[in-house]
Each structure stands twice: as structure tokens, then as C-alpha cells.
Amino acid sequence: MFTGIIQAIGKIEAIDPKGGDVRLTVGSGKLPLDQVQLGDSIAVGGVCLTAVSLSERAFVADVSRETLGHTVLGEVRAGAAVNLELAMTPRTRFGGHIVSGHVDGVGIVTARWSDGRSVRFRIEAPSELARYIAAKGSICVDGISLTVNRVEGAAFEVNIVPHTLAETTLGATDKGARVNLEVDVIARYLERLVLGEKAAETGVDLELLKRSGFV
């Protein structure tokens, strides 16, 4: 479990194919690896990975075929910058929102523009994720906990303050970039709760929402 508060910008140092999946070597930047043990979870660009080898300034993690096919890690190249966060501990200051590191889909940055000292991004999410994204709700973009400022269909906007631009990969992210998205876990569970006993049979539709008092 993570908070979406990025601790370091790392770098993909090596990509080693392993029979259909890959093993990544990730330079840790300023991430405190002295706090990490083998088997610990580290969020890499918003993807929860397990450290299988550690050195002073890097760690190694395996990435499954499933993860390669459903996240931006399937497209990453050596030298790419990635956001890094260590898993939460009982004493972690909870400054973002609940992030699992289980990416729901890949979005596309369709616009970037300045807004005062901040920068605003417009991101097109996969259509199947639109129902989980709400104005003033939370969303995780490449591992970063962000507040949704505006929603229009499957597109949403976020405002990035100067500190976040400087301390995450969003500072170098431009129009056309593909980003990992994780929706708010509360929205996912709410959908299942609304379904009740029908959860194993069907999905949420307008009629079900009306009967449940949400419309």
C-alpha cells in the first residue's frame, strides 16, 4: 500500500528479458534503500513491484507479462525516468490517498498548459474508467496522488504545483505521453457494493443506479 507521495525520481538502468516477462534494474536516485529489504514493495511509476535484489544505489524487480501488457512499463526503455515510492509503514505520514500500486489502465496526455506558476494537464482515460473519476476526487497518475479538477466524459484535468513538477516525472511529461492511471479504490469498492448480490452477474448501469438511489 502506498500514498502517492513520490519520494524520488529513479532511472531504468537495464531491461533484461526473461522468457516473456522482464527483469528491471532501477537506479534509486535519493530513495532511501537502506530502509528496504528483499521482498519489499516499491512503486515504480505507480506500479507495485517486489525488490528481488538490492545494491547501494539500485534495486532489481521482475515485471510479469500481465503488468507489461497493462501498464506503461511495457513500453519503457533504458534511461527512462520513473517515480519511486516505498510502501507505507504504520508510522508513515499519510499525505496523499490510498494507492495500491495496481494500475487500472493507461491514459494519454492530450494537453499541457501553464496556469500561473502551476501547470495543468488534460488526460484522456480509457472509457471503462470514466465512471470512477469524479471532480475533486483522487486519482493516481504515474504513482502521483492528484486531485481531479475537472471531468468531461473520460477526460479529466489536474493542476500540478511547482514542487510536484520539480520532484516527479510530470515536470518532463508533455502532450502525447502515456501515463499509468489508478482510480480511487473507494470508487471501485462502491461499485461492487451497489451491485450487492448481483455483483457476480452483471455490471453497473443507469437503471441499477436509479433503483439504488444514486440517480
pLDDT over threshold 80, residue 28: yes
- Span 12-19, mean pLDDT? 95
Query: What digits encode the pLDDT tens for the residues 154-190?
Result: 999 999 999 999 999 999 999 999 999 999 988 888 8
- Span 10-38, mean pLDDT? 95
Closest CA to 122 of 109, 107, 131: 109
Which residue would you say has higher pLDDT here, 72 or 200?
72
| pLDDT at residue 210, rounded to an integer | 61
Q: Is 171 helix (H, G, I), strand (E, B) or coil?
A: helix
Q: How big is the CA angle at 49 (ends 149 and 37), to the nearest 5 degrees?
A: 120
| pLDDT at residue 32, rounded to an integer | 94
Query: What digits encode the pLDDT tens for the residues 42-74?
Result: 999 999 999 999 999 999 999 999 999 999 999
Residues 88-99: b if buried by 16+ CB within 10 A, e if exposed = beeeeeeebbbb
CB distance 152 to 189 below 8 Å = no
| pLDDT at residue 207, rounded to an integer | 65
Overall CATH class of domain 8-86 = mainly beta
CA 124 to CA 107: how far, in whole Å?
5
Please say whether the structural domain 105-183 has been given the CATH code 2.60.40.1180: no
| pLDDT at residue 203, rounded to an integer | 58
Q: Is 176 helix (H, G, I), strand (E, B) or coil?
A: coil
pTM beyond cutoff 0.95: no
Residues 6+ away with beta carbon under 8 Å from 85: 2, 3, 4, 5, 6, 7, 42, 43, 143
| pLDDT at residue 108, rounded to an integer | 98
pLDDT over threshold 60, residue 214: no
Q: Domain spans of the chain?
A: 8-86, 105-183
Do 8-86 and 105-183 share a fold? Answer: yes
* C-alpha cell recorded at residue 68: 507489461
Query: What digits encode the pLDDT tens for the residues 68-127?
Result: 999 999 999 999 999 999 998 777 777 788 899 999 999 999 999 999 999 999 999 999
